[in-house]
Amino acid sequence: MNIDPGLFEESERTTPQAEGRQFVEVGSLDLERGGHLGSATIAYQTWGKPDPSNAILVCHAISGDSNAVGWWPRLVGPGKAIDTDRYWVICSNVIGGCQGSTGPLSGDFPFVTLGDMVEAQSRLMDHLSIPQWQLVCGGSMGGMQAIEWARRFPSRTKGVWATASALRHSAMQIGFNEVARQSIFRDPRWQGGNYTDQGPTDGLAVARMLGHLTYLSEPAFEAKFGRRLQEGDVKVPDAGATFAKREVFQVENYLAHQGHKFTERFDARTFVVVSNAIDTYDCTALPESDTRFLFTSFTSDLLYPSWQSQTANELALGSGHESTWLDINSPLGHDAFLLDENEQASAVHTLLGN
Amino acid sequence: MNIDPGLFEESERTTPQAEGRQFVEVGSLDLERGGHLGSATIAYQTWGKPDPSNAILVCHAISGDSNAVGWWPRLVGPGKAIDTDRYWVICSNVIGGCQGSTGPLSGDFPFVTLGDMVEAQSRLMDHLSIPQWQLVCGGSMGGMQAIEWARRFPSRTKGVWATASALRHSAMQIGFNEVARQSIFRDPRWQGGNYTDQGPTDGLAVARMLGHLTYLSEPAFEAKFGRRLQEGDVKVPDAGATFAKREVFQVENYLAHQGHKFTERFDARTFVVVSNAIDTYDCTALPESDTRFLFTSFTSDLLYPSWQSQTANELALGSGHESTWLDINSPLGHDAFLLDENEQASAVHTLLGN
């Protein structure tokens, strides 16, 4: 397999940009699992010429935000699969998030589901006077939201593209999220979610390190790092003990860097809220509608294996929908949904009838 | 794939048994990477009729101990692949361990390598007047030690069987170990390795939870847990926050249980010492000798993928050795080396000329 190591630099993901972000109050929300949000705010960004009859919604993954052209530059922008020259493209930060939308500021925040996130997005849609999305799309959790759009608002969702995603998390996916959550909970600065400073940054950093292990693939890690040692700029903290002092592998430095960076831009409470929303999501049926589906997956994706997209496609077909599943041969792991431009774009063009 | 969920109960592994354990002082050790152990003790167990001309050494994995019939009951015992009715079977706790052999009691313990562990085992071999092992075998790190035996003491190693193992860790394997180590280091009770109480049990528990995610496979997790909820006997600690309170998935309970159990029998310093030894090990050449090799791997092993055994086999063949690689079709993941009885036994019988 041919892997361009430079590709991965992009998947380090951008830090959120406040520039261009707009806010809308969408009123109170009765939540799916009980509890209530008194007055919810949604942070969102738009690109392209405002045209409610020609709008696309992009949904972000667990660590994302409303800046879709920032975190998905190969797929969203002028001339890209989600073409901001042709469509009015909207992306909003989820409820429960920490990038502008209403999210947890203490341990008292209620339990939020992917359904609640989509419900809140539908209020944004009303605010923008959009009758129907030409497409709702996203990768990973973003793809699960897109599926939830078709389940909850079938007549407002003309097309769904879910990439590197699933109808529900498997036991192993729940397991990865739970190890990350326990890493946060067991940090003494977690304080039941009631911290007022930076909070459990050690636990959050370890959670993110684990995340990055699942975003790549074994061949991608080999191509990117192998057993090469870090020369200078060591970011792995000193662990004190004599037996812990040795040369640092590049992969260790990469993980330390990713873990640290994440704590500077993300909140541990949001990680818990959103990962719980993902793990409890379970789409078992899709209503009759004219919604057309596209599911893309990647052969080396450890986190969202291809069979999950295959299963989603079977559900859509079995519910009488037009649906396509494309399993893309890639060594880039889960991050391939951020990095693969051509094969995803071609399938999306077909879905959109371009 | 057909998976018997009952099988996995065995892979929960036994707690160490002090019964039958013997100790020997093997003198001082100059360590491969500098440093010195003044007087090293090795804890070991034996099974079968003492016969130095007919002895087999079993090497344990990172969390193992000298009780080979306890943690490897399907492969070691009367009538098993490693037949205690036919051979004098020896297993010792590694240097750096926490089950009887000399290991770290503070942050001042030196950096120990797999070579040092094997050097210490060779002193035990001298003590038992064994001129040559009929076989040195083990899984995971145990297999790497077996390989190191053939590299370091070729004339004393008639046969090597390394299962679910490798010549060296890949970037991804180092990554998994490093996330586990950081989880330990970032626990405030780590104290540079200088704790005198139980130490960083939260960090160690999270490290072990992560370990168990890599020991099974995605289909094994599906078969064992799926999305089933835990009914009663919830072992996941209360995280305080409202948004963290929900039903517990069985897979979460399993991981919590494994994490907790580990902290009752294992020491965080040993985890760091031994995982560092594994990550820095790199066997690039094997000397000429009559040593015969067997490498077994498992198709669903996420942690030690089959290509690593294939590569090891190629090194052995390229160095003029008799060598066989058997890739066993199994859905059980890395734990298959503990659980698969028949296919491994048959290959070992052939290697031993039985």
Digitized pLDDT (tens) for each residue of chain B, 354 residues in all? 456 656 555 544 445 556 789 999 999 999 999 999 999 999 999 999 999 999 999 999 999 999 999 999 999 999 999 999 999 999 999 999 999 999 999 999 999 999 999 999 999 999 999 999 999 999 999 999 999 999 999 999 999 999 999 999 999 999 999 999 999 999 999 999 999 999 999 999 999 999 999 999 999 999 999 999 999 999 999 999 999 998 999 999 999 999 999 999 999 999 999 999 999 999 999 999 999 999 999 999 999 999 999 999 999 999 999 999 999 999 999 999 999 999 999 999 999 997
Tell me if A178 and B206 make a contact (CB, 8 A cut-off).
no
Instruction: Name the phi and psi angles at B85, rounded to 5.
Output: -80, -20
Minimum Cα–Cα distance from A211: chain B residue: B179
Domain boundaries along the sequence of chain B? 7-170+284-352, 172-275
Model pLDDT, residue B354? 79
The CATH T-level fold of domain A18-354 is Rossmann fold (3.40.50)
* CA B92, chain centre distance (Å): 12
A242 → closest Cβ in B109, B226, B255: B109
Quick check: helix, strand or coil at residue A298?
Answer: strand
Residue B154 has what DSSP assignment?
Answer: G
Nearest to B47 by CA among B13, B87, B18: B87
Cα distance between residue B318 and residue B295, in whole Å: 14
| pLDDT tens, residue by residue, A220-271 | 999 999 999 999 999 999 999 999 998 999 999 999 999 999 999 999 999 9
User: CA separation (Å) from A196 to A216, B80, B118?
Assistant: 33, 59, 51
Nearest to B187 by CA among A59, A203, A128: A203
Quick check: helix, strand or coil at residue B31?
Answer: coil
| pLDDT tens, residue by residue, A125-144 | 999 999 999 999 999 999 99
List the structure tokens of B278.
Answer: 């594994």
Tell me if B203 and A193 make a contact (CB, 8 A cut-off).
no
| pLDDT tens, residue by residue, A305-326 | 999 999 999 999 999 999 999 9
Judging contacts by C-beta atoms under 8 Å, the chain A residues touching residue B191 are 240
Angle, CA of A344, A213 and B111, to the nearest 5°: 155
Residue A273 has what DSSP assignment?
Answer: H
Judging contacts by C-beta atoms under 8 Å, the chain A residues touching residue B280 are 246
pLDDT band at A20 (very low <50, low <70, confident <90, very high): confident
Minimum Cα–Cα distance from A107: chain B residue: B241
Assess B285–A contact: CB distance below 8 Å, yes or no.
no
Catalytic residue among A309, A334, A335, A340: A334
Cα distance between residue A341 and residue A75, in whole Å: 6
Cα distance between residue A202 and residue A204, in whole Å: 5
Tell me if B109 and A241 make a contact (CB, 8 A cut-off).
yes
Query: What ranges in A216-335 are assigned the alpha helix state H?
Result: 218-224, 250-265, 268-280, 306-318
* CA A189, chain centre distance (Å): 26
Interface of B with A in 99-158 (CB under 8 A): 104, 106-112
Q: How far is A345 from chain B (nearest CA, A)?
A: 29
Cα distance between residue A184 and residue A174, in whole Å: 15
CATH code of domain B172-275: 1.10.1740.110
**CB-defined contacts A:B, below 8 A:** 233
User: CA separation (Å) from A179 to A82, A183, A199, A237, A281?
Assistant: 34, 6, 18, 21, 18
Catalytic residue among A140, A217, A297, A323: A140
A267 is catalytic: no
| B-interface mutation test, from A172, A208, A230, A281, most B Cβ less than 10 A away | A172
Assess A302–B contact: CB distance below 8 Å, yes or no.
yes
Minimum Cα–Cα distance from B107: chain A residue: A241
Strands (E), B124-227: 133-139, 159-163
A2 has a pLDDT exceeding 80: no
Assess A205–B contact: CB distance below 8 Å, yes or no.
yes
CATH code of domain B7-170+284-352: 3.40.50.1820
Tell me if B109 and A256 make a contact (CB, 8 A cut-off).
no
Distance between the two ends of chain A, CA-based, in angstroms? 31
Residue B36: CA atoms inside 13 Å, Cβ hemisphere, count?
Answer: 4
CB B214 within 8 A of CB B303: yes
Model pLDDT, residue B19? 73
Cα distance between residue B160 and residue B167, in whole Å: 13
CB A119 within 8 A of CB A29: yes
| B-interface mutation test, from A183, A269, A278, A301, most B Cβ less than 10 A away | A183
pLDDT band at A8 (very low <50, low <70, confident <90, very high): low
Model pLDDT, residue A18? 64
Judging contacts by C-beta atoms under 8 Å, the chain B residues touching residue A267 are none
Cα distance between residue A149 and residue A289, in whole Å: 12
| pLDDT tens, residue by residue, A25-64 | 999 999 999 999 999 999 999 999 999 999 999 999 999 9
B107 → closest Cβ in A191, A218, A242: A242
List the structure tokens of A100.
Answer: 């502008």
Tell me if A251 and B302 make a contact (CB, 8 A cut-off).
no
Q: How far is B218 from chain A (nearest CA, A)?
A: 6
Assess A196–B contact: CB distance below 8 Å, yes or no.
no
